[in-house]
Amino acid sequence: MDTRTLAADQPIGVFDSGMGGLTVLRALRAAMPREDFVYLGDTARLPYGTKTAATVQRYALQAAGRLVTLGVKAIVVACNTASATALPAVEAQFPDVPVFGVVEPGAAAAAAHGGTVALLATEGTVRGGAYQRALMRRGVRMVRARAAPLLVALAEEPSAAQHIQAAIIGDYLHGLVQSADTLLLGCTHFPVFVQQIEAQLAGRAVVVDSATTTAAEVAANIAPRAHEDRGEIVLMATDGADRFRRIGARFLGEPIHRVELVDV
């Protein structure tokens, strides 16, 4: 048995500040159904989006380190805030493990539609400017970027009334897409609102997110697992397994039966 086969049979590690990254895990599973995944949600310290770059980097290195101790063959930083601020730090700390973020794939998805782009993201992601730079490298102009912190809280409160959701989404969209052809969802929490967002946009702009393009990039760059059966997922969280199961199902798109509590 050569070491390459051993590595190929290891799981892919995915981490996020909490449950939002489960929208990325869902896309990863769809693209690579035979792979095993280990997902770590840092629910004890979520959200990352309102915290400073230095703090997000520290948290991201701890989460990635935990995945590395589990022998993952790749790390997916399934959090826009962490991808935007901590990707180089994670790559430098773990040079032997391929690391994938969601910002470059998100920018690629937006660029694929052509025209101008508006960004809806967290405070940290907007402030850091990583999407702006990633789009600029692709010759795409970002006409507006807006932080939408309430949308993160809203995504984690499935019981919020429909008219509240519509009012908050409408408020964030107001003035955002007048001159944009594409609306880029730069936070993994936001895809759960894609239908409401598209309904309010009424065709004025195309909505894209990072999940599908991230999954395609990972799939193109890993040694695939040798087995033909469907892969398994292990879900871990740093706090609140019950809440993770209950609310996470909304992001993963399927019921969650088991969540392991871990320390990072």
Q: Which residues in this chain contact its own copies in the complex, by CB under 8 A?
A: 43-46, 50-52, 55, 123, 149-150, 152-154, 156-157, 160-161, 163-164, 167-168, 171, 239-240, 243
Closest contact distance (angstroms) between CB of 254 and its own copies is 22
Closer of 44 and 70 to its own copies (Cβ): 44
Residue 182 CB, nearest distance to its own copies (Å)?
24
Using DSSP bridges, classify how beta strands 12-16 and 37-41 pair: parallel, antiparallel or unpaired: parallel
Q: Could you give the CA distance from residue 141 to residue 118 in angstroms, rounded to a whole number?
A: 9
Name which of 151, 214, 208 is nearest 177 in CA terms: 208
C-alpha to C-alpha distance for 49 and 22, rounded to whole angstroms: 16
Cα(first)–Cα(last) distance of the chain, in Å? 32
Please pick, among 74, 168, 187, 237, the residue that the annotation labels catalytic. Answer: 187
Residue closer to its own copies by CB (options 165, 213) is: 165
Alpha carbons within 13 angstroms on the beta-carbon side of residue 252 total: 21
CB of 19 to its own copies, least distance (A): 11
* HSE (side-chain half, CA atoms, 13 Å) at 237: 22
In the complex, least distance from residue 40 CB atom to its own copies, rounded to whole angstroms? 16
What is the smallest separation between the CB atom of 178 and its own copies, expressed in angstroms?
Answer: 17
Burial of 230 (0-12, 13-18, 19+ CB in 10 A): exposed
Query: Reduced to 3 states, what is the DSSP secondary structure of residue 50?
Result: coil
> From the candidates 61, 79, 197, 237, which is the catalytic residue?
79
- In the three-class reduction of DSSP (H, G, I as helix; E, B as strand; rest coil), residue 183 is classed as strand
Active site residue 187: yes
CB of 154 or CB of 233, closer to its own copies = 154
* 155-176 exposure pattern, b = at least 16 Cβ within 10 A, e = fewer: bbeeeeeeeebeebbeebbeeb
> Is 54 an annotated catalytic residue?
no
For its own copies, the closer of residues 119 and 215 by Cβ is: 119
Cβ-based neighbours of 203, under 8 Å, separated by 6 or more: none
Q: Tell me whether residue 200 or residue 223 sits nearer to its own copies (CB atom).
A: 200
Active site residues: 79, 187
